[in-house]
Chain A
Amino acid sequence: MAETVIPVGQEPTAEETHLRHHFATPAQQMDAATLGMWTFLITEVLFFGGMFAAYAIYRGMYMDAFASTSEFMNVVLGGTNTAVLICSSLTMALGVRAAQLSNRKQLQLFLVLTMIFGTIFLVIKGFEYHAKWVEHLVPGFNFHYPIPQFERHAQILFFLYFCMTGMHALHMIVGLGLLSYLLIQATRKVFSATYYAPVEMIGLYWHFVDIVWIFLFPLLYLIGHRK
C-alpha cells in the first residue's frame, strides 16, 4: 500500500484528516472515496443511458417528426443555460482548488457562486416548462401539436424531453442540496488541505450533471438545425 510521505513532525492528527476508524491512512480513505464516487457516476451514466438509448432508437425511427419539434424549443434559453452550467462547473472546480489550498473565504465564495448558477439554470428551466404548458406541448396532460402529421410521433420526443430534462433537473436540485451542506461545513471550518474529500466528490457529481446537460442540449434542442 502506497503511503504519502509526510515530513516528520508535521503529521496531521486523525481529527484534522477526519480519518475514520476502519482506514489505515488518510490516503487510503481518499482513494476509497474517489473510487466510490467514480463507481457511483458510472451507475448514473447507465441510469441516463436508458433514456439516451430510447432517444437514439426513436430518433432513428421518426427523424422528421423529431426534427419538426425544434421549432418549439427555445434555443436561446437552452443555450443560455448551457453557458450558465459551464460557468458553474468552472466555479466548482475553483472551489475544489480553494479547499485544497485551505482558502476558506474563496471556497465559500465559489460554492455560493456555483449555487447561484445552479439556481439560475433551474429558474430558466422553469420558464421553459411553463412555456411548454402554455403551448400545449406536455404529453399526456396537455398536448396539441400544430403539425398534424407529426402529432403522434412528436409526443415521443416531448415525453423524452420531459423525462430527460426532468431527471437532470432533479439531479441539479440534489446537487444544490449537497452544495448547501458543503457551504455549512465550510463555514464550520471543516475543510483544509488535509481534508477536502467531500468538496472534491460533490464537485465530481456536479461536473457529471453538467456533462449530461451538454449532451441533452444539442440532442433535444438542435435536431432540426442540423442541415
Chain B
Amino acid sequence: MATLAHGTPEIAAEEPVNYLNVEHGWKSWLFTTDHKRIAVLYLISITLMFFVGGFMAVLFRINLLEPEGIFSAETYNRLFSMHGIVMVFFFLVPSIPATLANFLIPIMIGAKDLAFPRINLLSWYIYVVGAILTMYAVVRGGVDTGWTFYAPYSSTFSNSYVLAAAFGVFTAGFSSILTGLNFIVTVHKMRAPGMTWSRLPLFVWSNYATGLIQVLGTPVLAIVLLLLAFERIAHVGIFDPNIGGDPILFQHLFWFYSHPAVYIMILPGMGVISEIVSCFSRKRVFGYNFVAFSSMAIAVLSFVVWGHHMFITGESVYTGLAFSFLSFMVAVPSAIKVFNWTATMYKGSVSFDTPMLYAFGFIGLFTIGGLTGLFLATLATDVATHGTYFVVAHFHYVMVGGMVMAFLGGIHFWWPKMTGRMYSEAWSKFAALIVFIGFNLTFFPQFILGYMGMPRRYHAYPPEFQALNVLSSAGASVLGVGYIIPMIYLLWSLKYGPKAGPNPWGAAGLEWQTQSPPTTFNFDETPIVTEEAYNYGPLEEVIG
C-alpha cells in the first residue's frame, strides 16, 4: 500500500469514467445494482428522514420553552413519538451501514460488489415503502405511543395511527435484515486474495458485528409488531390482561431486539472512528485485535442485557441483578475501544482535519454517554432516574453525540472518495465546532433536569425547570444550524469543490488506492493484499 501511484495533475482533462458518470438518467439510478449508487440512494433517503425527525424535535423543543407547554399534550405526545420512530428506525439504524458501509465494504475488502447486489437494491425499496407507510401515519395525525409501542396502550387504548406506523417499522426492519445479511456473506465470501480476517479494516469488523445483530434481532421486532397489530385488529391477544395475557411480555420481546438495536446504532460509528483516528494519527490502531474482538463482544453481550430497560416495570430482583451485572459487562469492550483510540493518538502525528474533529467529539461524548449508562445499569440509581430526562440525555449522548458525530465524521472523511470533490475546510471545521457546542448545550442540561427529577414524555413541567429547558431548546437551534451548514457546503462542493485525488488524506486502505470516485467495479483488477491494515508510513509519500 505504500507504493501508491502519484496522482498526476490532470488539467482540463476529460473526467475519467466512474460510477457516477458511467450512466445517466433516473432509470440508471432506480434500477442500479451498484453498491455505490445504492449507498447514494440511501444517503439521500436517510438525510430526508433525518430532517423530518429533526423538524419534530424542533417543534417539541419550542413547546418546552414554556412550563405549561404551547401545544396540547396530545400533539406533544405525537411529536416526540414520531421523532423517536423516524430517527431510530429510518435514520440511526440504516445511517452508517446502508450508506458508508454499503459504499465502502466491497472496496475495503477488494471486491467488485456486495455478494447480493439485487438484494441490496431490494433493501432500499423496502426501506422506501416502510418510510412511506410511516409518513402516511405522520400525515394522518401521527402516533402517540412513544417509539417503543408499549402494549396495552398501543394495542388497545391509543387513538392514533399505530397500525400504519407499526407496519412502516415492520417493513423497514426487513431492509435492515437484508443489509446485515449481505454484509455477513460479503465479508465471509468476497474478500480479495490476501485479505485475511486479521487484515480487515476495523470498519469492516464493526459492520460485520452490526450485521449479526441486524440478522438475529430484527426478526424478533418484526414478530412482536405483527402480534401487536393482530391484537389491535382483533381487540384481543396475548398482551391483553383481560384474557390473562401479559403486557410485560411485549416489553421483553421488544427489547430483545431494541437493546441490541442500540448497538446497531453505535458499532458502525465506532468503526468509522477507528479509521479516522488511525489516519489522522498516522499510526496503526493500537491493539487491533482487541478493537476487532470488542466489536464482536459488544454484539454478543447486546443480546443478554435487554432486561435493564425493565428494572422498574415488573421484573424479579434476581433477574434485575443478572441484567445489571451483564449490562456492566458491556462497559468492558466499550472502554477497550475508547482507550485504544486514545493510545493510537499517543505519540502519533495528530492532525486536526474535519473528520478528526468529529472523532474527538465522538470519543468525548460517547464516553459521557457510556459512563452515564453505568448509572442506569445500577439497580438502585436506575429506580430514581428511570423515565426521567437523565435517560433521554444518556441515549442522546450515545446516539447523537456518538453515532451522528461518527456519521458526519465518516461523510467528511469519505466525501472525496464518494464524490471526487473536496469541501471547504474552513466551513467544515466551523460546522463541526457548532455541532459540538449545540449538542452539549442541548443535552447536558437534560442530565441535570433528569437528576432533579423531571420526567420524560410530558408536555408540561414545574416552573423551576424552565431555565434549563430554555437552555436546551436554545442549544437545539444551534445544533440545527450545525446540521444545515454541512448540507450547504457539501452540496456546493458537488459542483464547485476542487477535484479530489485518489487519496487526499494519505490514508491506508484499499479504498484509497482506487480512483475518486471509483469505477463501477471498484478496481481495474482484483487487488492482492500483502500487508496488514493501517500500515502507515511517512506522510509525504502517500498523499495523492
Known: A21-B521, A152-B243. A159 touches B253 (CB 8 A): no
Contacts of B222 in A (CB 8 A): 47
Q: Does B234 contact A (CB under 8 A)?
A: yes
Chain B contacts for A39, CB-based, 8 A: 181, 184-185, 215
Distance in angstroms between the alpha carbons of A44 and B177 in the assembled complex: 11
Which residues of B205-240 are within 8 A (CB) of A?
Answer: 215-220, 222-224, 226-227, 230, 233-238
Residue of A nearest to B113 (CB): A22
Q: Does A90 contact B (CB under 8 A)?
A: no
> Taking the complex as formed, is B112 at the interface, i.e. its CB lies under 8 A from any CB of chain A?
yes
In angstroms, Cα B230 to Cα A51, docked, is 13
Docked CA distance A48–B238 (Å): 15
Contact B216–A159 (Cβ < 8 Å): no
A92 CB → nearest B CB, Å: 23
The answer to whether the Cβ of B25 comes within 8 Å of any Cβ in the partner chain is: no
Interface residue ranges of A54-82 to B (CB < 8 Å)? 54, 57-58, 61-62
Could you say which residues of chain A place their CB within 8 Å of the CB of B243?
139, 152-153, 155-156
Which of the 9-residue segments A7-15, A29-37, A93-101 touches chain B? Answer: A29-37
In-complex Cβ contact of B193 among A1, A53, A61, A140 (8 A): A1
Cβ–Cβ < 8 Å partners of A57 in chain B: 246, 249
Which residues from A are CB-within-8-Å of B8?
none
Bound form: Cα–Cα A21–B152 in Å: 51
For residue A137, give the distance in angstroms from its CB to the closest CB of chain B: 13
Q: How many angstroms from the CA of A186 to the CA of B513 in the assembled complex?
A: 44
- Interface status of A124 (Cβ within 8 A of chain B): no
Which residue from B114, B184, B526 sits with its C-beta under 8 Å from A24?
Answer: B526
Q: Are B521 and A159 in contact (CB under 8 A)?
A: no
What B residues does A28 contact at CB under 8 A? 189-190
- Contact A43:B177 (CB < 8 A) given known A152-B242, A156-B244: yes
**Chain A residue contacts of B111, Cβ below 8 A:** 22
**Assembled-state Cα–Cα distance A24/B112 (Å):** 10
The verdict on B117 contacting chain A, using a C-beta distance below 8 Å, is: yes
Flag if B227 contacts A163 (CB, 8 Å). Answer: yes
- Determine if A32 and B185 form an interchain contact, defined as CB atoms under 8 angstroms apart: yes
Interface majority SS (helix, strand, loop, mixed), chain B? helix
Which of A21, A36, A44, A49 has the most chain B CB atoms closer than 10 A to its own CB? A36
User: Are A160 and B238 in touch, CB under 8 angstroms?
Assistant: yes
Q: Are B112 and A43 in contact (CB under 8 A)?
A: no
Inter-chain contacts of B237 with A (CB < 8 A): 139-140, 159
For A143, give the chain B residue with the smallest CB separation: B236
Determine the distance from Cα of A23 to Cα of B185 in the docked complex, in whole angstroms.
12
Q: Is B287 an interface residue (CB 8 A)?
A: no
User: Would you call A141 an interface residue if the criterion is a C-beta within 8 Å of the partner chain's C-beta atoms?
Assistant: yes
- Given A35-B188, A44-B219, A46-B219, A61 contacting B181 (CB threshold 8 A): no
- A44 and B222 CA atoms in complex are apart in Å by 10
Residues of B within 8 A of A143 (CB): 236
Residue of B177, B181, B185, B235 near A140 (CB, 8 A) is B235
Interface residues in B162-214 (C-beta closer than 8 Å to A): 177, 181-182, 184-186, 188-190, 193
* Chain A residues, Cβ within 8 Å of B233: 140
Q: Tell me if A's interface is mostly helix, strand, loop or mixed.
A: helix
- Asked if B116 is at the interface of the complex by the 8 Å CB criterion, the answer is yes
Asked if A133 is at the interface of the complex by the 8 Å CB criterion, the answer is: no
Would A22 and B244 count as touching, CB distance under 8 A? no
Shortest CB–CB separation between residue B536 and chain A, in angstroms?
28
Residue ID in chain A nearest B256 by CB atoms: A50
Closest to B115 in A: A32
Q: Is the CB of A141 within 8 A of B184?
A: no
B245 at the A interface (CB under 8 A): yes
Output the least CB separation between A143 and chain B (Å). 8
Looking at A31, A42, A50, A51, the one whose CB has the most chain B CB atoms below 10 A away is A50
Q: Hey, which chain B residues are within 8 Å of A127, CB to CB? A: none
Within the complex, what minimum Cβ distance (angstroms) separates A55 from chain B? Answer: 9
CA distance A48 to B219 in the complex (A): 8
- Bound complex: CA of A139 vs CA of B230, how far in Å? 11
Residue A181 lies at the interface, judged by CB distance under 8 Å to chain B? no
Docked Cα-Cα span, A106 to B226, in Å, equals 40
Q: Are A43 and B236 in contact (CB under 8 A)?
A: no
Q: Is the CB of B215 within 8 A of A42?
A: yes
**A122-156 interface with B by 8 A CB criterion:** 139-141, 143, 152-153, 155-156
Asked if B249 and A54 sit within 8 Å, CB to CB, the answer is yes
Q: Contact: A54 with B177, CB < 8 Å?
A: no
Give bound CA distance, A184 to B215, whole Å. Answer: 31
Q: A42-B215, A46-B216 are in contact. Are A156 and B177 (CB under 8 A)?
A: no
Chain A residues near B119 (CB, 8 Å)?
36
Q: Give Cα A7–Cα B310 distance, bound, in whole angstroms.
A: 62
A155 → chain B closest CB, angstroms: 5
Nearest to B230 among chain A residues (CB) is: A163
Do B253 and A46 touch across chains, with their CB atoms under 8 A apart? no
8 Å CB contact of A36 from B185, B219, B246, B249: B185
Kindly state the separation between the CA atoms of A163 and B190 in the bound complex, as whole angstroms: 38
Q: How many angstroms between the C-alpha atoms of A159 and B115 in the bound complex?
A: 39
Which residues of the other chain, B, contact A163 by a CB distance below 8 angstroms? Answer: 226-227, 230
B224: chain A residues within 8 A (beta carbon) = 50
A-chain residues with CB within 8 Å of residue B177 when the two chains form the complex:
43
Chain A: which residue is nearest B223 at the CB level? Answer: A50
Contact between B238 and A159, CB atoms less than 8 A apart: yes
Looking across the interface, which residue of chain A has its beta carbon closest to that of B222? A47
Q: Nearest Cβ distance between residue B314 and chain A, in whole angstroms?
A: 13
Closest chain-A Cβ to B127's Cβ sits at a distance in Å of 17
* B189/A48 in contact, CB under 8 A: no
Asked, given contacts A31-B189, A32-B115, A44-B219, whether A155 binds B521 with beta carbons under 8 Å apart, the answer is: no
Shortest CB-to-CB span from B204 to chain A, Å, is: 16
CB-CB < 8 A to A44: which residues of B? 219
Residue of A nearest to B184 (CB): A39
Bound: A176/B105 CA distance, A: 35
Contact A139 B234 (CB under 8 A): yes
Chain B, 348-385, contact with A by CB distance < 8 Å: what is the 0/1 string?
00000000000000000000000000000000000000
Report 9 cross-chain contacts, Cβ distance below 8 Å, ordered by A residue. Answer: A36-B181, A43-B215, A47-B223, A54-B253, A57-B246, A58-B244, A140-B234, A155-B236, A156-B245
Partner-A contacts on B (CB < 8 A): 111-117, 119, 177, 181-182, 184-186, 188-190, 193, 215-220, 222-224, 226-227, 230, 233-238, 242-246, 249, 253, 256, 521, 526
List 5 additional A-B contacts (Cβ < 8 Å) besides A20-B117, A50-B227, A140-B236.
A21-B112, A22-B113, A22-B115, A51-B223, A159-B236
